Structure 1
Amino acid sequence: MGMRKKMLVLLSAMALVAALALPAGAADDTIKIAGLFNLTGGMSSIDTPGLNGAKLAAKLINEKGGLLGKKVEVIGYDTKTDQKAAATGAKKSLADGCVAGLGYGDTTFVMAAAPLYQKKGRPFVTSGATHPMLPKWVGEYMFMAPFGDDDQSYAIADYTYKKLGARKVVVWTDNSMDFTKALSKFFKERFKKLGGEIILEDFFMMGDKDFSAQIARLKKAGADAVFVSSIPNEAGLTTKQIREAGLTLPIVSGDGFDTELITTVPGPKLANDVYFATHTYREDKRPEVLNFIEEYKKEYNRPPENAFAALGFDAVGLIADAIKRAGTTDGKELRKALAATKGYKAVTGEITYSRPSGVPMKGVSVISVKNGKYKVEEVWMPAK
C-alpha cells in the first residue's frame, strides 16, 4: 500500500473515531429530534397536528440561528396507530442518531417507544399522552408536555357535578387503551368524592363502529350525563350515535374529544351539549398562543386543528430550551436540564417540573360544544 493510500485510510479511520466520539446527532451540523406519531389510523386526527406543531417549532428555531450553532431537524416517523410499529419507529430513530424523542397523543404508544429511549439514556417528551404514571413507569428520562389524566379528569368531574348539576352519571370506557381506562378511573374517583353516583358502566373497544347496545342501556339508565372515555375516532362516532338516538343529555369527556371529528362526524346540529377537558390553548390571548396560531396559519394555510398541534410545538420548545441551558446534546446533561425546567412559557401554559416526576402542573381548559361551536367555559387549576 502506498504512503498516500495509507494516509487516506488513517484519516478516514480518525474521522470515524471522531464521529463516534461525538454525541448522537452531533456528528454533523444537524441536531436530530425524533417525532414519533401515528399519522395514520385511529390516532391520526390528533397526532398529525402534533407533528406539524413540532416541525414548525424547529423551523422557527432555525430561523433564529438554530441551537449550539447547528440546525434542528424534527424527523417524523409514522407508527400507524400500532404498538409494534411504535417500538420499531423508536429503534430506527435511535439508530438514526436522534438526541431526543417526542410524540404521541396516547399512553399505550409512549409505553411502546419511550422505554427504548430510557435504555439509551436519551430523553423522551410526550406531546400528548397524559397518564400521570408515565415518568414513573418509564424512568427519569421520561417527561410530559401535557398535564396528567388525574388533573383533566378531576376538572371535567368538577364541571359535570358543579356546573352541569349532574348527580347520576353513566361511564363509557374504551377498554383497549391505557389512557381511556385511566381517564375513567380518575373521573369516577372524583365524581363519587363530590357526592355523585356512577349508575352504570359500559365498555367498547377501539375500532368499534356500532354503539346501539350501549345506547339502549343508556336510555334505560335515566342518567343526568354520560362520560365517554375514548380516543378521537370513537369520540365523533359515539357523539353522532347518541344524538341520532334522540338522547339530549350532556356528553362529557377528556382531551380524546379535542378533535375536529367531534363536529365533522355528527355535523353541527348534533354536535351539541358536549363538554371536554383539554389543554389550555383555545381563545387564550397570551402572546405565545397568538404568535403560534399566526405562524401555524402561515406554514399550513389553516389554523391549528386542536391543542395537540400546540403540544407538539411545546415539546420541541422544551427540548430546545434544555439543550440551550445544558450547552450540549449529551443525554445525561439534557435530562438534568429538562428536569430543572421552571416557568417555561409554553403555548399550552407555563411549564415547571416542580413535582418529583416529569409531570407539569398546568391549567386545564373545559370546552363546551354547542351547535358545532367551541367555547372555553373555564380554566381549572390543580391544587398545589
Structure 2
Amino acid sequence: MNAQKNGTPGAGRVLRRTTIAASAALAMLAGMASSPAQSQTIKIGVPVPLSGSSANAGTDILNGAKLAAAKVNAAGGVLGKQIELVPEDDACDAQTAVQAAQKLVDAGVVAVAGGYCSSAALPELTTFHRAGIPYVLDASTNPKLTEMGYDNVFRTIGRDDEQGPFAASFMKNSLHVKRAAVINDNTTYAKGLADNTVEALKKDGVDVVYDDAITPGQMDYSPTLTHVASLKPDVIYYTGYFSEAGLLVKEARQLGLKMTLMGGDGTNDPTLMKTAGPAANDMIITTAPLAQFLSGAHSFVDDYTKAYGQGPGPYSVYEYDAVGVTAKAIADAKSSTPAAITAALHKISKYPGATGTIGFNPKGDRSLAVYITIIVHGDSFAPYQKQDAAGHWMAMK
C-alpha cells in the first residue's frame, strides 16, 4: 500500500497485462503445436467398419492402409515427417459414421483415405467437405458420392453405374440369360448397384422377373428364394454384402435351386465361403480385380501375407493405393494443408499404383476403372472372365 503511494500505482495493472499477454502467447503456441501444419506427424484418417457384420472388410482395409504408411515412412516419410494413421470405426452405419468423421476432424487429420459402405461414406463426406478435408475412397462405389459437386472427394475404385452395365453385359452376352432376378438389401450401395444393373438388363432385352430387397440380419431367406425360384430366372444376382450372401447361397442350394448364382462386389470377401461352405462353389462375382490377380500387386500380396498371416481381402489393395496417392499429393503440394492436398490430388494423372495407373477425372472418380468376374472354387476365388478392348468376353488366365 505504501509502495502505491510512492509512485507505482500501475504495477498491478502492468503485471495483469503481462500475465494476460503471456497466457495468450502460450495459447497461440499450443494451437500451433496441435495444428496439422505444426504437428510432428502428418495425420491421415481411416474411417472403416471395425465392428458389426462388415468388420472383417474394415480390418482388411485398415491393414492395407498400415502397409502403405509403413512403406512411405520407411522411405523417409513426407515433407520430413512420418505418416500417422488415425482409424475410426464407422460400423457401416450412417449415424455412427457422422460421429467417426467428426472425431477425425477433431483429431487434426489433413486427409482421409478409407470408406467401405456407401451408406456410411455419404454422411462422412458431408462432414469432411464442411471441414475442407480431402476424402479418397477405396471401396465406396455409389455414384452420388462424386455427383454432389464436392471438390474434395476422390475414388481409387469404380462406380455402381459402371459395374451395373458390366454385370448386365456378362449375363446377357456370356451367360446368355433370358430371365434374371436381382436381389438387394436396400442399403445405399446395394440398391444403387441393383438399380443400375436392372436398368442395363432391360436395355439389353433381358426379362427382369424379380427386383426387390431382403432385410439384412435375418436368419432365413428361404421364403424369398422360394418365390424367386417360382419365377424361373436363369440367374440370381445379389447386390448386397457378403454376410447375407453366404446364407442366401447356402439356402438356395439347400432348396435345390439350380440356376446360376451371382453377386456384386460386396460379396467378394472370403467370409462368403466360410458361411456358405460347398454351396458357394461356382458362384460368380463381378468385382474390381482382386490383388492376387493384379500383376502390379505381387509384392503387396507378399507383404500383406507376411504381416498378417493370411492373404489380403478385396479392398486392402485399393486402400493401399488410396493412402499412397494421398502421400504423393502431399509431396507434390509441398504442404500438408487440406486445401493444398485437394488441389494436388486433382492434378494427379499417372500415379503408379498397385492396382494400376491412377488418375482422377474432374468429379474425382478414377479415370480408368476396371471390372472382372471371378468364380468360387472350393475355399478361394479364381479369375473367370473379362472383356477385351472390343467388349468381347474372354477367359482370364
TM-score, L = length of structure 1 = 0.91
- 1:170-189 equivalence runs, <5 A: 170-175=181-186, 177-189=187-199
> Partner of 2:220 in structure 1?
210
Q: Is the 8 A contact 1:135 1:142 kept in 2?
A: yes
Residue 264 of structure 1: which of 246, 254, 274 is its match?
274
Secondary structure at 2:280's aligned position in 1? Answer: coil
Does the residue aligned with 1:133 lie in a helix, a strand or coil? Answer: helix
**Counterpart AA for 1:185:** D
Which residue among 335, 352, 363 is the counterpart of 1:357?
A: 363
> What SS does structure 1 have at the residue aligned with 2:116?
coil
- Provide the rounded CA distance (Å) in 2 between the counterparts of 1:12 and 1:55: 39
Q: Secondary structure at the match of 1:77?
A: strand
C-alpha distance in 2 between matches for 1:278 and 1:70? 36
Q: Provide, for residues 58-113 of structure 1, a one-character-per-residue CA deviation record: whole Å limited to 9, x for no partner.
A: 11111110010001011111123322211111111111101112222111101121
**Higher-Rg member (1/2):** 2
Partners of 2:118 and 2:38 in 1: how far apart?
Answer: 32
Q: Name structure 2 gaps, 5 residues minimum.
A: 1-10, 392-397
Most deviating of 119-128 and 129-138: 129-138
Match of 1:276 in 2: 285
Q: 2:360 corresponds to which letter in structure 1? A: Y
User: 1: CA distance between counterparts of 2:258 and 2:236?
Assistant: 10
Matched, 1:126 2:132: no
Q: RMSD of the alignment, in Å?
A: 2.5
Residue of structure 1 in register with 2:339 after alignment = 332
Contact 2:294 2:355 in 1 (8 A): no
Q: Deviations over 1:232-288 (max 9, x none)?
A: 211211111111211121112211111112211111x211221111122344352x3
Q: How does 1:195-274 map to 2 (within 5 A)?
A: 195-267=205-277, 269-274=278-283
| Matching residue of 2:179 | 168
Looking at structure 1, the residues matched to 390 and 103 of structure 2 have their Cα atoms a distance apart, in angstroms, of: 40
Decide which of 350, 370, 393 is 1:343's aligned counterpart: 350
Query: Using the alignment, how far apart are the partners of 1:260 and 1:189 within structure 2?
Result: 29
> Aligned equivalents of 2:164 and 2:58: distance in 1?
21
Sort the Cα spacing of 1:10 and 1:294 in 2 relative to 1 into closer, same or farther, 3 A.
Answer: farther
CA distance in 1, matches of 2:251, 2:35: 49
* Deviation string, structure 1 residues 305-348 (Cα, Å, up to 9, x no partner): x2211122111112111111111111211111111121222222
Where do 5+ consecutive residues of structure 1 fail to align? none
Contact 2:42–2:81 under 8 Å retained in 1: yes
Q: Is the 8 A contact 2:268 2:314 kept in 1?
A: yes
For residues 134-180 of structure 1, what are the alpha-carbon distances to aligned partners after superposition, in whole Å with 9 as ceiling and x for unaligned? Answer: 122261111112111111222222111111121100111112x1110
Measured after TM superposition, the shift of residue 220 of structure 1 is 0.8
Equivalent position SS for 1:139: coil
Alpha-carbon distance in 2 for matches of 1:9, 1:178: 53
Q: Which residue of 2 aligns with 1:88?
A: 99
Greater mean alpha carbon deviation, residues 74-83 or residues 250-259 = 74-83
**Cα separation, partners in 2 of 1:204 and 1:283, compared to 1, 3 Å:** same
Q: Is the CA contact (8 Å cut-off) linking 2:284 and 2:373 kept in structure 1?
A: yes
Q: Look up the match of 1:300.
A: 308
Q: Determine if contact 2:270/2:379 at 8 Å carries over to the other structure.
A: no
Identical positions, percent: 27
1:31-50 equivalences under 5 Å are 31-50=42-61
Q: How many residues align?
A: 379
Alpha-carbon spacing, 1:366–1:231, altered in 2? closer, same or farther (3 Å):
same
Contact 1:369/1:375, CA 8 A, preserved across alignment:
yes
> Cα 1:382–1:130, aligned 2, differ >3 Å: closer, same or farther?
farther
Could you list the per-position Cα deviations for residues 192-238 of structure 1 after superposition, in whole angstroms to 9, with x for gaps in the alignment?
Answer: 22221101223212222211111111221111000111112112111
Shift of 1:22: 7.5
Using structure 2 for the length normalisation, give the TM-score: 0.89
Counterpart mapping for 1:284-323 below 5 A: 284-286=293-295, 288-304=296-312, 306-323=313-330
